[in-house]
Every structure is written in structure tokens, then in C-alpha cells.
A and B are shown apart, each in its own frame.
Chain A
Amino acid sequence: GAVVSQHPSWVICKSGTSVKIECRSLDFQATTMFWYRQFPKQSLMLMATSNEGSKATYEQGVEKDKFLINHASLTLSTLTVTSAHPEDSSFYICSAVLLAGGPNEQYFGPGTRLTVT
């Protein structure tokens, strides 16, 4: 089956530093990758839609200068949290859509737990 990986799986950083999270589709090509954030006991919140070779589309309320997304290839998208603050501490999950697949062909990465101290 289609596998999506994320790295790192967890990270602790100091306030004011930047953190990069990678999302890779391991055995398929993904035209589109989604980045979600999930706070404890809440549902997933879509942050942005990342399309290979073009600028990401950010959801309302998500600062694009703070959450930098790069989708350099059909198998890799990165999310960089710049100047992280404790309120950015959350579970970040990416998902990838199989190239030419139907809307149900969306696969989730295992998530990255970010703690900002």
C-alpha cells in the first residue's frame, strides 16, 4: 500500500528557533500534499494545501510567513515553523494524494509532535 513518512516524529525546540518537518511519499508520486495541525482532543485543522512546483495555498488564519511550505518534488513536501513559540506546540500531520488517484486516495503520514519550550 501507499506509505507516507514524516521526519522527525517528535521534536523539542526552544522558543524563537525554526523547525523543519519533512513529508515523503515513499512508494508513489503525490501531486498534492496537505498539512494539518491537531491540538489535544480536537479534530484535524487544515493548514495548507501544497502542490508540486507551485506556491502553497494557506487556510484562513494560517500565517504563510510563519509556516513555510515547500513542495520541491512529487515525493517531498516540507513545513518549516519559523520563530516557533509555545503556542505552536501541536501535532503536525501531512497527507499525500496519489497522482491520478480518486479523492479517496489520500494517505496520512504518522505525524510530528512539536513541543516548543
Chain B
Amino acid sequence: GQNIDQPTEMTATEGAIVQINCTYQTSGFNGLFWYQQHAGEAPTFLSYNVLDGLEEKGRFSSFLSRSKGYSYLLLKELQMKDSASYLCAALDSNYQLIWGAGTKLIIKP
């Protein structure tokens, strides 16, 4: 079956760095997304990886290893506004998004 695994909750300190991991098993693979979702709001797009390696975008970076079925989202210089859920989603061979349950990130001062 198709499955996405990511930690349920993580806590980090303002100004620090945090890495949120995601492993996936899908029927075929056409890329991996990371979304940020604040409570009560719709998700907002953060990144899309389809090739192996690290993509950096400001304070956020996303990494993909297709051979390992693994991705991570790296957040640097954490700010209080980064407190949110981070959703990992993989695109399968039918271009359907398979969603993880999300990682709730709590930032402490």
C-alpha cells in the first residue's frame, strides 16, 4: 500500500534549526511536496523535489533521496511564526498526492 510517515510533533527553540523527516512508499513516484499549514488555514506550498539532492529556498531547505524513499525539510533561524503543521506529500504514478498526517512544530522562545 501507499504510505507516508512523519513524526507527529516536534519542539524547537526560536533561532535554532530543526529537521522534519518524511519517508514514503508509493506506487511510482513523481515528486515530493512540503506544505506548511497554520491552524484553521489551508496549506501553503513550501517546496517540491523530484530529483535527488538539496533545494534551498531562504530559511527553508528540502532534501530528497529517491533510492531511500526519504525526504526532510530543514528550517533554519526559527521564528515563532514557524509554529505550524508541516505536511509531506508524495505524488504517485497516477499524479495523485499521497498525504502524510503532518508534523506539528512547536517553537519555544
Residues of chain A having any CB pair with chain B under 8 Å = 34, 42-46, 91, 93, 103-104, 106-111, 113
* A-side contacts of B31, CB under 8 Å: 103-104
* A-side contacts of B101, CB under 8 Å: 42-43
Q: State whether the Cβ of B30 lies closer than 8 Å to any Cβ in chain A.
A: yes
Q: Count of chain B residues with Cβ under 8 Å from any Cβ of A? A: 19
Give complex CA distance A108, B87 in Å. 13
* B-side contacts of A110, CB under 8 Å: 41-42
- In B88-105, the 8 Å CB interface with A consists of 91, 95-97, 99-102
Contact between chains at B42 and A109 (CB < 8 Å): yes
Contact between chains at B91 and A43 (CB < 8 Å): no
Residue of A nearest to B91 (CB): A103
5 of the cross-chain contacts (CB-CB < 8 Å) are: A43-B100, A44-B43, A44-B87, A46-B97, A104-B31
* B-side contacts of A91, CB under 8 Å: 40
* A-side contacts of B87, CB under 8 Å: 43-44
